[in-house]
């Protein structure tokens, strides 16, 4: 088994068990004059009338005769692009819950208006995909090999044979602002008005939230934060490396609980597996818990060892999405929530 495949399976294991996760581009027809003028209307008009190219984080340049209209994307990417006014025609990945409601990874996307070509890991209906006449397929990447997230390896050749170019945005071993910036660049290439007041305000909110989190961490450096995820038999403690959100929070000064490298090795560096009997191995003042539907949520954890944790007893547990929706509007609240938790946290560990 190749290292790339092994890394991919590590990420698969993370998702299956609800585990704790945690560049310049060539943009379409965006001339220097338009960039200097800041005229988004001219940019958008030019983009829609001419050829489209975008260099993704694999170093691969996706090309089309015109700006893609029939976009198929991973659900989190679709949610991010939606925040920028760019709509996907088809989506894959956790989209619809059993009760018909939207998954947390769908953000503000109206899932009744998209074709769902796969709702779980390994699901990707190639017939539905081809029927959409896709102009581009977009997803994220969680390893250094450029593996396209949620695009099944076993059917990848058939998916690519449909003919649409693919775009991968990396969220592996980098800090959150980088993929946020890349998603904004991608949205701009697809015709988004990235100078709009809404987007400008969202970016400002994110920057303010980052400053607030930095200040909170500096004011309370002794507050220890643990990133965790719950499954029926295992509690996962994430390391702060590799995940874009945790790497950024750490850079802002957040004091994370760090499993030893040897404990992280089995997962490729992502997390340490703990039995519920050993869930108290690490002292923590604030616990961030995986809020994806693949993980057991804090309110549903019945293990006595969990309920006895000082942070749990103190009510110092907050949500974390290990796969952040890469728009400033969706990421700003994540920083705000963590900053608030640290500001209000009592030292209990």
Asked if residue 166 lies in contact with residue 60, where contact means CB atoms within 8 angstroms, the answer is yes
Instruction: Quote the CA–CA distance of 284 and 318 in Å, as a whole number.
Output: 13
Up-side HSE of residue 200: CA atoms within 13 Å toward CB? 6
Q: Are 143 and 7 in contact (CB under 8 A)?
A: yes
Q: What is the mean pLDDT of each run of 10 residues along the chain (349 residues)?
A: 35 39 29 34 49 97 97 98 98 97 97 97 97 98 96 97 98 98 98 97 98 98 98 96 97 97 92 96 98 96 96 98 97 98 98
Q: What is the pLDDT of residue 103?
A: 97
Global pTM reads 0.87
Measured at the CA of 8, the angle between CA 256 and CA 239, to 5 degrees, comes to 10
What was the pLDDT predicted at 230? 98
**How many other CB atoms are found less than 10 A from the CB of residue 101?**
10
């Amino acid at each position: 088994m190749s290292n790339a495949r092994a890394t991919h399976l590590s990420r698969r294991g993370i998702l299956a068990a609800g585990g704790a996760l945690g560049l310049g581009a060539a943009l379409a027809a965006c001339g220097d004059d338009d960039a200097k003028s800041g005229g988004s209307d001219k940019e958008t008009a030019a983009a829609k009338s001419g050829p489209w190219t975008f260099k993704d984080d694999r170093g691969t340049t996706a090309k089309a005769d015109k700006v893609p209209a029939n976009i198929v994307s991973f659900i989190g990417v679709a949610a991010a692009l939606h925040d920028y006014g760019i709509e996907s025609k088809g989506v894959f990945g956790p989209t619809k819950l059993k009760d018909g409601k939207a998954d947390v990874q769908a953000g503000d996307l109206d899932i009744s208006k998209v074709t769902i070509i796969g709702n779980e890991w390994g699901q990707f209906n190639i017939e539905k995909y081809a029927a959409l006449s896709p102009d581009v397929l977009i997803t994220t990447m969680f390893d250094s090999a450029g593996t396209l997230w949620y695009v099944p390896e076993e059917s990848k050749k058939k998916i690519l044979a449909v003919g649409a170019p693919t775009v991968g945005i990396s969220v592996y071993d980098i800090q959150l602002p980088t993929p946020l910036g890349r998603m904004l660049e991608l949205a701009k290439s697809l015709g988004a008005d990235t100078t709009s007041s809404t987007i400008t305000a969202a970016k400002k909110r994110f920057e303010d939230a980052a400053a607030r989190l930095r200040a909170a961490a500096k004011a309370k450096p002794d507050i220890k934060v643990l990133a965790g995820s719950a499954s029926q038999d295992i509690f996962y403690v994430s390391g702060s490396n590799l995940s874009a959100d945790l790497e950024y929070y750490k850079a802002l000064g957040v004091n994370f609980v760090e499993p030893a490298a040897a404990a992280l090795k089995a997962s490729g560096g992502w997390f340490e597996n703990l039995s519920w009997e050993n869930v108290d191995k690490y002292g923590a003042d604030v616990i961030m818990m995986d809020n994806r539907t693949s993980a057991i949520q804090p309110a549903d954890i019945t293990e006595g060892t969990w309920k006895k944790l000082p942070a749990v007893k103190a009510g110092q547990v907050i949500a974390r999405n290990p796969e952040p929706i890469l728009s400033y509007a969706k990421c700003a609240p994540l920083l705000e929530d963590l900053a608030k938790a640290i500001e209000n946290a009592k030292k209990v560990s």
